[in-house]
Amino acid sequence: MSQPNIEPSQVVEGCFLVGRRNPESILQCNTYLRTFQNGSQKTHWCVDPGSELDYPVVKENLLRHVGSLRDIHMFSLNHQDPDVVANLRFLAQENPNLVGVVSEDVWRLVRHLNANPKKLYFTGKVKQNLMRLPDGHRIQLVPTPFCHFRGAVAYYDLETRILFSGDLFGGLNQPGRVQLLGSEEDWAGIAQFHQIYMPTRAAVEYAVRQIKVLDPPVETIAPQHGFVLTGDFMHTVMDRLASLPVGLDLLASELDEKYLAGYREVFREVLHEAAMQIGRGEIFTVLNKLPADHELRQFVKIGKQEAELQSCGFRALPLLIEELSRTQFQSIRSQLKSHVLQRCTDLALPIPQLGVGVEEQAMWIGMQALSLAPDGE
């Protein structure tokens, strides 16, 4: 669906992304404001209030579109993680008339925030999963169990055809890449996010199947992380996620046999890329100094000037990058990670867990604060 001539925060007319778009982060937390118009009356709905870290920005953005936080009529929660729900406490404090829509499984945990909205509607008690607002607008409730929490619920606005999907369809972004709409370039971050946070492919496939049969068909997916999805790319992502190994699927013994050849190719490329940057001799000085019981030696045969991946590429690639990017080689860490992400995407390999999601600078500062920085730094 084309989105011409809209401001960066506007998803479609009447729907705005009001979360903070932080170019220094690779995990954006997306809060949305949906405004229903009925004559001169407006109903404001806040979707996933967001992280306490972002509250000043979320509040400022909300106030751009509503006169006061007391004018927000309702909120909804997909699941209970702090990046989704923490700001509810502040909204409820500033708005004593706030009404919420949430599953009972989610609220059982969220209630420990000590947020006290005026009234709650539990999704499991809504007939035919169809909510009718007082102004006549309708919201379809779409349970997405175990994506990534048992009680997760997506919310489908039948008027705009936007599905607010929570963590499902979310993604990590490249640093500085914080545009509104996702594209093919963002697939690697979407895939890795799901491989880290979704429990099984079966859960994702079930959720995607429920979404594909919604009537009228979904035109826009607005997840709680990453980018808004529309058009052909939205359908491409749905199809890919339905068959993507995630979570427990990545622990299966069959994984190594099926993908080992591809991982071997990427492994050789990483060694070549590193050699171009720091020299082949330096690489093998590092690898040959690894202790005999180092985990990487379980998967890689290391010689004086050669190294061959023998098993478990999913685990070996992150270990290799970690060793090659220590101390004086820190500068190549991001380059090697980017290469692995891109090549695994090209070869349709499950994307290894490369530590994406915690910014390098933040990790480094934390290590220094704990006196854990490598020697010489």
Range of the domain at 80: 10-249
Burial call 316-340: b when 16+ CB within 10 Å, e when fewer: bbbbbbebbbeeebeebbbebbebb
- 143 DSSP 8-state letter: E
> What are the angstrom distances between the C-alpha of 174 and each of 41, 67, 270, 334, 335?
40, 35, 19, 10, 12
- Give domain status of residue 375, yes or no: no
Same domain for 144 and 239, yes or no, is yes
Q: How confident is the model at residue 355 (pLDDT cuts 50, 70, 90)?
A: low
Q: pLDDT, tens digit, for every residue of 319-331?
A: 999 888 875 566 7
What is the phi-psi region of residue 115: left when phi exceeds 0, alpha when psi lies from -120 to 50, beta otherwise? beta
Beta bridge partners of 302: 307
Which among 231, 249, 267 is the end of a domain? 249
Domain count, the chain: 2
151 within a domain of the structure (yes/no): yes
The Cβ of residue 216 has, within 10 Å, a number of other Cβ atoms equal to 9
Rounded CA-CA distance 99/91 in Å is: 11
For residue 58, tell me if it sits in a domain: yes
| 193 and 276 both lie in a single domain | no
Do 37 and 102 reside in the same domain of the chain? yes
Asked whether residue 231 falls in the same domain as residue 276, the answer is no
For residue 2, being part of any structural domain is answered with no
- The SS3 call for residue 260 is helix
Query: How many residues comprise the chain?
Result: 377
**Of 166, 151, 156, nearest in space to 130 by CA:** 156
Query: Is 376 inside any structural domain?
Result: no
| Beta pairing, strands 72-76 & 130-132 | unpaired
Give Cα 12 to chain centroid, integer Å: 21
E strand spans, 15-132: 15-17, 32-38, 41-47, 72-76, 99-102, 119-122, 130-132
The verdict on 273 and 193 lying in the same domain is no
Q: Which pLDDT tens digit goes with each residue over 276-312?
A: 988 899 889 999 999 999 999 999 999 999 999 999 8
Structural domain ending residue among the three candidates 220, 249, 278: 249
Strand 99-102 relative to strand 72-76, pairing:
parallel
Predicted confidence (pLDDT) at residue 359 exceeds the cutoff of 60: no
Domain at 70, CATH number = 3.60.15.10
SS3 141: strand
> Of 319, 272, 311, nearest to 294 (Cα)?
319
Answer yes or no: do 326 and 192 share one domain. no
**Are 34 and 220 in contact, with CB atoms under 8 Å apart?**
no
Residue 5: inside a domain = no
Whether 33 and 79 map to the same domain: the answer is yes
Res 362: pLDDT: 41
Task: Note the pLDDT tens digit of each residue in 90-101.
Answer: 999 999 999 999
What phi, psi does 165 have (nearest 5°)?
-105, 0
In a domain, 4, yes or no: no
* Percent of the chain topping pLDDT 90: 69
155/18 same-domain check: yes
Sign of CA dihedral 176, 179, 183, 188: positive
The answer to whether residue 377 sits within a structural domain is no
pLDDT for position 227? 97
pLDDT score, position 194: 95
**pLDDT score at 151:** 97
Same domain, 222 and 183: yes
**Residue 134 exposed, middle or buried by CB count within 10 Å (0-12, 13-18, 19+):** exposed
Best CA proximity match to 3, nearest among 260, 249, 228: 228
Residues 275 and 233 both lie in one domain: no
Residue 53 and residue 168 share a domain: yes
256 and 154 inside one domain: no
Least reliable range by pLDDT among 30-39, 202-211, 249-258: 249-258
Query: Given 214, 249, 284, which residue is the final one in a domain?
Result: 249
